[in-house]
Amino acid sequence: MAAASYDRLAVAASLLVAAVVVAGLPAAGALGVNWGTMATHRLPPGTVVRMLEDNGIRKVKLFDADAGPMDALAGTSVEVMVAIPNNMLDMMTDYGTARDWVHQNVSRYNFDGGVNIKYVAVGNEPFLSSFNGTFLNVTLPALQNIQRALNDAGLGDSIKATVPLNADVYNSPTESPYPSAGRFRSDIADLMTEIVQFLNQSGAPFTVNIYPFLSLYDSDDFPLDYAFFDGTSSPVVDAGNGIRYTNVFDANFDTLVSALAAAGVGGLPVVVGEVGWPTDGDKHATAAYAQKFYAGLLRKLAANAGTPLRPGQYIEVYLFSLVDEDAKSVAPGNFERHWGIMRYDGQPKYGMDLSGQGRTNTALVAARGVQYLPRQWCVVNPNAQDMSKIGDGVTYACTFSDCTSLGYGSSCNGLDAGGNASYAFNMYFQVQNQVEGSCDFQGLAVPTAQNPSTDACNFTIQITPSAAGRRRRAIAATALLLLVLLAALHVAP
């Protein structure tokens, strides 16, 4: 009874903190976050939605239209951007298929107590060079068909189709490397002009993903302070207009503004679909840097500072991202699984004042009611006789779990060889839900109730897998198959 009372008191205190954070302050309510689900163990959708509401976050950007998150968002005031994955863009070039998708994933949520859908994201960064042009010929037709389907469904005035694009779709020429000289990339300039003119005609915004962190990651010569918002000892002076840029976010954003103007749509609204800072997987990916970056960004947003070419304007922003995702590809870098402002289990990583007022000791409200696997870890067996195969065991464990925190500059980089092996074995053990036999590795590993974590390196205990989540994924897969069949038959549902 006493424990239950303490739990209720803790929840009440958390909600009071959230109310104080949000009340009377504009930034939190206008902020959005990206809710990705590429994780081996996902928080239940209802838990995530409660966490959004507890923190006063009123906008969320999804990467699909999975029924789990959508059902959990129903009946809330949270504004939603649903998405069509890149692998479905080719299908959407057929209007009948696009119409069916809108019917199944947008129209059916359009009722009192439904989902407050504001945007449909058509693809995600489809023009990345790593895609080798796969989506160049299908993105614009898909965009046009989705907006047409929204219009035909009577939803086009309130719901707009857009395409989240990476910032590499625009640049400045080498002879004039300044924001005022921004143009769309030469190989896709004509296509980008068609896209932005269509967005302008339909009343939709241009959506761009901007990552100052990547500037640091890509070049050791990049000035560290230019990635943040506290000023720099070496500002960039735009030779075209004399503007002094003190941070790369403003410079990047204004390069896009110039590119839009050059394409004849200088007033097109811009939404920053992703912006954030990772906390592990690289020497610059730390909680301290992430906290510094967000403090500056949120302060800028709260002040409606805009950018030099669009001053005094609030910038609509979706932070990237809400929680860590341990199943994401690490092709971009080991940091890719560590973008969350929350850990995998919905626990805050650092202090963060969403209001942008810069108040110290302000924390996000953690996810409530999270259930964990038993409190046990997997470590190297101190009594193991033959250690010659430990390298093979580590390789196997890391192939099927997330060992990115062991890399150079990462949080667990300081472990010795035995610590590295224990970390890898434990990550595999947790991903396998601690099932019998998953902590053996031919006698090299053994379960323990003693926490092997260090001050710098956390040995994870995973959350319990969600049976509801597995059912929803199966339903989503069935729905996708049905959509493919309908497209082949040209049959409306």
- Residues 358-411 have pLDDT tens digits of 887 899 999 999 999 999 999 999 999 899 999 999 999 999 999 999 999 999
Distance CA 464, CA 462 (A): 6
* Confidence bin at 25 (pLDDT 50/70/90): very low
Least confident of 22-36, 393-407, 448-462: 22-36
For residue 482, the model assigns a pLDDT of 52
Question: N- to C-terminal Cα distance for the chain?
Answer: 52
* Residue-wise pLDDT tens digits, 226-235: 999 998 888 9
For residue 360, the model assigns a pLDDT of 78
| Residue from 81, 149, 87, 70 nearest 120 by CA | 81
Cis peptide bond upstream of 321, omega within 30? yes
- Could you tell me if 84 and 101 are in contact, meaning their C-beta atoms sit under 8 angstroms apart? yes
In whole numbers, what is the pLDDT of the chain averaged over residues?
A: 91
User: Which domains occur in the chain, in start order?
Assistant: 27-61+163-342 (3.20.20.80), 377-448 (no CATH)
For residue 21, the model assigns a pLDDT of 42
Distance CA 95, CA 140 (A): 13
* Residue-wise pLDDT tens digits, 261-315: 999 999 999 999 999 999 999 999 999 999 999 999 999 999 999 999 999 999 9
Active site residues: 125, 274
* Residue-wise pLDDT tens digits, 92-141: 999 999 999 999 999 999 999 999 999 999 999 999 999 999 999 999 99
| Residue from 201, 177, 307 nearest 263 by CA | 201
For residue 180, the model assigns a pLDDT of 98
Is pLDDT at 176 greater than 80 in this prediction?
yes
- Please give the residue that has the higher pLDDT: either 467 or 33: 33
* Residue-wise pLDDT tens digits, 411-442: 999 999 999 999 999 999 999 999 999 999 99
- Could you tell me if 206 and 160 are in contact, meaning their C-beta atoms sit under 8 angstroms apart? no
Distance CA 243, CA 308 (A): 7
E strands of 193-346, at which residues?
206-209, 236-237, 244-245, 270-275, 306-307, 310-311, 316-319
Is pLDDT at 487 greater than 90 in this prediction?
no
* Confidence bin at 466 (pLDDT 50/70/90): confident
| Residue from 260, 257, 258, 227 nearest 245 by CA | 227
Distance CA 295, CA 97 (A): 43
DSSP symbols for 463-474 = BPP-HHHHHHHH
> Mean pLDDT over residues 324-347, rounded?
98
> Mean pLDDT over residues 451-459, rounded?
98
Least confident of 70-84, 87-101, 220-234, 311-325: 220-234
Q: What percent of the chain has pLDDT over 70?
A: 89
- Could you tell me if 370 and 43 are in contact, meaning their C-beta atoms sit under 8 angstroms apart? yes
- Residues 6 or more apart from 144 whose CB is under 8 A from it? 198
For residue 350, the model assigns a pLDDT of 97
In Å, the largest CA–CA distance within the chain is: 72
Q: What percent of the chain has pLDDT over 90?
A: 86
* Confidence bin at 479 (pLDDT 50/70/90): very low
* Confidence bin at 4 (pLDDT 50/70/90): very low
Is pLDDT at 15 greater than 60 in this prediction?
no
- Could you tell me if 227 and 216 are in contact, meaning their C-beta atoms sit under 8 angstroms apart? yes
Token pair, residue 449, equals 């109730």
For residue 481, the model assigns a pLDDT of 52
Is pLDDT at 50 greater than 90 in this prediction?
yes
